Structure 1
Amino acid sequence: MSDESSFKTQANAVLEAWASVVDAIEDETGIEAELSDGVLSIVHPDRRTIILNRHLPSRQLWLSAPVSGAAHYARDAEGRWRSTRGPEELATVLAAELTALAGRPIAPPA
């Protein structure tokens, strides 16, 4: 499997897992997820929006969110998606963002 193909597979798995998390809380919270061509859009009824997308040239996942702002994440040696500017893990940051949108604790995908 090529680097590009491997990255797409890994990134798509992350995007699909988070889309499933949002789908599971949609009826309760009104938060919707749309996944299309490597871009996950998570939209609260009041229009606050989280965007998580794969960035193929850099082999990173890019996040734009209301609370934490914009950040880039790359896979580390353990396979975790970590910020390119600090120790933060994508799963932790995105769970906090969804918790803020939902008004209740949201756990990262297993």
Structure 2
Amino acid sequence: MALDDKDYRRQLEACLGHWLDVLEATGAFDELDLADGVLQAETEDGKVFILNRHLPLKQVWLSSPVSGAHHYAFDEGRGGWFSTRGGEALADRLRADLGQIGIGIAG
């Protein structure tokens, strides 16, 4: 079942806020910015990760300098954001991509 607008916005804000905290805790980013549903994180060497809302589809989109573009929808049954192609968790993709450039994250 798809999220209604209110639940989508609540889940989106929780997701972006969580990743802002996680990325900030690494100390590996020169710039971190969360504004208007877009989280942008740039490493010291210019690699930019972007998590942003996609309101029409009620998704979160990831742009990664490691693996490219990915789209995630919230799965209420599993309690998280999962790829619309293949079902991979957003958290798993971010951990893998960050790990490939030497940034470890907890959890």
TM-score w.r.t. length of structure 1: 0.85
SS in 2 for 1:88: coil
The one-letter amino acid paired with 1:81 is: W
Equivalent pairs, count: 104
1:24 is matched with 25
1:93 is matched with 93
TM-score w.r.t. length of structure 2: 0.87
Matches within 5 A, 1:1-110: 3-26=4-27, 29-76=28-75, 77-101=77-101, 103-108=102-107
Aligned-residue offset at 1:67: 1.3
Partners of 1:31 and 1:98 in 2: how far apart? 15
Q: Is the 8 A contact 1:25 1:31 kept in 2?
A: no
The one-letter amino acid paired with 2:9 is: K
> Structure 1 regions of 5+ residues with no counterpart?
none
> Structure 2 regions of 5+ residues with no counterpart?
none
Aligned-residue offset at 1:31: 4.1
Partners of 2:78 and 2:54 in 1: how far apart? 20
Q: Percent identity?
A: 47
Q: RMSD value over aligned CA atoms? A: 1.7
Q: Which has the higher strand share?
A: 2
Aligned-residue offset at 1:82: 0.8
